[in-house]
Amino acid sequence: MTQVTMLSASQISHLLDMPAVIDAVADAYKEKANHPATLWPMVYEQLGGEADMDIRSGVLASKHVFGSKLLAWFGENAKRGLPELNGLVNLYSSDTGEPVAVLNATALTGFRTGPSLAASWLTRMPRPC
């Protein structure tokens, strides 16, 4: 069995920096546009009350990985002193199917969402003359 890397939120925050994340997000969007990356249909389920979960998954061909991100949102958790969003990312080798990594999805989502939103808005802005 291969070694599986496990990264906590703390480890992710120490390993990632925003310029690298912005570059990685831009590369992923380019791959999706050019079709070497594929997103599979999202699974979403309302869990009752202020709670839901979703699973997003796909293949990133250039990195030879596929995987899934499961996020659970519990809106009442803030009142309990708990995070509202929790989840894991599971990555697998697209060459062998073996697990590669388990990552804290909450930390990754926090890093990814800002650059994704910025890129989305910047692409809609008029170009200077």
Give the contacts of 12 (CB within 8 A, at least 6 positions apart).
Answer: 103, 104, 107, 108, 111
pLDDT tens per residue, range 1-31: 678 989 888 888 888 777 777 777 777 777 7
pTM of the model: 0.75
Q: Is the pLDDT of residue 35 over 80?
A: no
When pLDDT is cut at 50, 70 and 90, the band that residue 54 belongs to is: very high
- 113 to each of 56, 98, 106, 109, how far by Cα in Å? 14, 28, 11, 6
**pLDDT digits 0-9 by tens, 56-99:** 998 988 888 899 999 999 999 999 999 999 999 999 999 999 99
